[in-house]
Amino acid sequence: MEIKKESRLGVYKRILEKEGRSIVKQRYRGVEYYKGPDLAKGYMLEKAKEVYKELKIDHVIENINEALELYNIIKYVKDDTFLLYIGEDKEEWLKEKNNVANSSLGEYINQHSDILVEYEEVDFRYKESFWEIIGNRKMSDISESRLKVFLDKLDVFAWQIFKQYKLVRKYDTELREYMFIYIEESTNLLLDKYLLKNMNEQEKPYLPQSLTIEDKEYIINAYLNLDNPNLNYTRLLSNVQNTKEFSLDVRVKLKAKRVSERLESELFKSGSGQGTDIVVEFKENVEGIVKQHFTLSKVGTEVDKEWLESNLDNPTLLNNFIYIFEFVNNNMVSNFPYNAIYASVFERFGFTHKKEYKINAAFSLRESLSLAQMHVYYTFLRGKNKDLETIIEWFFNVYLKEEFYIVDFNVKLPPIDNPSFEKCKSIFPTIESIIKKYKFYLEDGYIEEELVQMESKPSPFSECPSMTNDRYVYIAPDNNEARVLRNIMFSDQSDITYFPNYGHSQYNTLIERLYADKLYLHDIEDYQKPSLNWLVEHDYVTVKDDNEIVLVNRNRTLIYYYIHINGVVVTSKLSDSLKQEVDKLLDEGALVAENTLLTRQESEYIDYYLNKSKFINGYDLRNKYLHGTASGHDNENEHYVNYLQALKLLITIMIKINDDLCTAELEGS
C-alpha cells in the first residue's frame, strides 16, 4: 500500500489558510515572447490563442502578471508571428482581440501612477518586460529620487533594468551608485558587456555613461576580494585584452591570476570532493592488449607490457598513438580538441570570452591523460634504447621517401640529452617548418629547403592544404535547417526527449530512441507537437499507418548527426551512399567543403597551444620560447611538460599527413 503524499499546492494552501489568507487564482498562463526562430514559439502561441479566446470587450486586468502576459502576446501580433500561426482567415478576429488587449493593458498601466509598487508581484519570467513597459510608457512618472528609494529597498539585484537603453540613460547617476553596492552582480554585467560570448549582440546590457574606466576596474578589484569569486570569471580577468572601454591594470590581472590559482588548488585539496585518478600503466596480462578507462573515478590506459616489448619496430611504435593511446578516432580526426557534446549542461552554457578557447572537465581530463601517456611511453621507449625523437625523424626522412617517394623532408629534432628548455626552443620552429614543407610539396611536387627557409612568414596551420578533394565538410553558416534539426533530434536539451508512457525506458536524445526503440504518435505530449510537426514537414520522420514515428531520409540525418558529434565529416571515410548524400547537400549549399590537412577544430587546438593570436587564454608556447619570455632554465618540470605537449602536437600532424597521403593514394589523387 502506497502512502499518498500531500501536494505542494495543498501544503501551501493549508499554510495560507492557517494564517488567515486565501489563494487568489492568477489569471495568466505564462506566455512569453521569443524573438526570432525558437522551438518554444509554437507552444507559446498555442497558449496565447487560448488567452485571446477568453478576452471580452471591456476586459479588466486583475494583476500585473496578466498585464505583462498581454504585453508579450501583443509583441507576437506586431511582428505578424501570431497571424502566421493561426492563419490569415483569422485576421479580423485577431485584430478585434488585439484591440481589447491593447485597451485593457493601457487602462491598467494608466491607473498605476507608481507602478514600481507592483514589482514584488511580478513573475520572474516577466521582470524584463516590466522594465520594458516602464521605459516605453512610464518613465516620465518615475523621478530619479523615486527610483533610488526603490532600488535601496530591493534585496535582489534588478539586472533587467540594464537591458533598457532609455532607463540607463535617464537614471545614469542612480544606476552607477547601484552598481557599487552589488559588486558581484555588477561584475556579471561588465563581463557580459565586454568579455563574454553572446548569441545576440542586442542582448548586451547598457551601462551608465558616468561609469568611468576607473569605476569598472574598482568593481573588478572589489570582486577579486570576495571570498568565493567565480573561477571562470577570474580566469577571464587574468587574460583581459585592454580596450578603450574596458581595461585592467597589470596588477589587477596578476591578482586575478593568483585568485584563480588559489581557487584551482582548493578544488583539488584532499577531502574536498571525489577526484578522478589518472592512471597509465604497462603491466602483465592485460586482456585484449589495451584497456581504456574513462569514468568519474578513473581515467587511464592499461597496456600489456609483454606485447609492447615484443613489438618495437618503428611503424608499430608510431601506430600505438592511434590504436593504443587513441590520439585520433576511426576517421583519423584528433580526439584532443574541445567538443561540446562532452560538456555538462552548465559547462555548455557557461561563461567564455569572445576570443577564449573553450574548455571543460572532459577536455582537461583528456589533456591530463594524454600527457601522462606521453610521459610513460617516452620513458618506456628510453628504457628500451628507442628514442621517440629518432622514430619521428625516421617517419619524415625515411618512411615518406620509401612509401610515397617524398624526398628532402629533412626533419631534425633536438638532441635527446639537451635540457627540456633548449629542446622547446627548437621543436616549435620544427613543427612550423613541417607544415611549410608539406604545403610546398603539395603546391610544387617537391621540397626545396632554401625556399622553405626564405619563407619567413608563419604559415597558419588552418591554411595547410590537403592532397584529396573535399576532404572535410561542415554545416554551411546559413543552414538554419541543420541547426533546428540538431536542437530537436540530437540535443539532450530538446523538448522531445522525455516520454512519460515509457517510464524508465528513456533515451538521451530523440535520434537514439528512433534508432534503437519504437515511438508512437500517442506518446507525444502537446508541447512536443510543434517539434514533431517540424520534423514531418521537413521529411526527417513520418508517421506510419499504425501511428509509429519512424526515420526517413536516414542518410541526410546521419550526415548531420556525424557533424554534430565530431564537428566535421571526413568524406573519404564514408560509404558510397553517404558520399552521394554529401554531394547533394553540397550542391544545395547546405554543406561547405574544405581541402585542408587539418580540420578547423584541430587547427584551433594547435593555435591554442602555440600562440595567442586567436585565443587570449592560449599557452603561447611558440612565442614564449622564440622571444625568451618562458620561465628560466631551472624550471625543468614546466619545460618538460611543454616539450611533451609539443611532441604530442607533432605526432598529431604526422598522423594527419600519413592519412592524407594514404587517402590520396587509394583515391588515385
Domain boundaries of the chain, sorted by first residue: 28-142, 143-273, 311-403+412-436+635-668, 472-594
How much is the pLDDT for 272? Answer: 40
Pairwise CA distance, residues 537 & 525, whole Å? 18
Query: 232 to each of 53, 69, 267, 465, how far by Cα in Å?
Result: 47, 36, 13, 36
Which class for 406: exposed (0-12), middle (13-18), buried (19 or more C-beta within 10 A)? Answer: buried
Q: What is the pTM of this model?
A: 0.68
End-to-end Cα spacing for the chain: 73
How much is the pLDDT for 427? Answer: 95
How much is the pLDDT for 9? Answer: 37
How much is the pLDDT for 402? Answer: 94
Among 37, 589, 622, CA closest to 614: 622
H/E element, 368: helix 361-383
How much is the pLDDT for 350? Answer: 55
595 neighbors 470 (Cβ within 8 angstroms): yes
How much is the pLDDT for 34? Answer: 83
Pairwise CA distance, residues 343 & 359, whole Å? 9
Among 603, 605, 595, CA closest to 663: 595
How much is the pLDDT for 454? Answer: 87
Task: Lay out the sheet containing 290-294: strands in order across.
Answer: 277-283, 298-304, 290-294
| Below-50 pLDDT ranges, the chain | 1-25, 198-201, 268, 270-274
Burial 165-203 (b: 16+ CB within 10 A, else e): eebbebbbebbbebbeebbebbbbbbbbbbbbeeeeeee
Which class for 80: exposed (0-12), middle (13-18), buried (19 or more C-beta within 10 A)? Answer: exposed
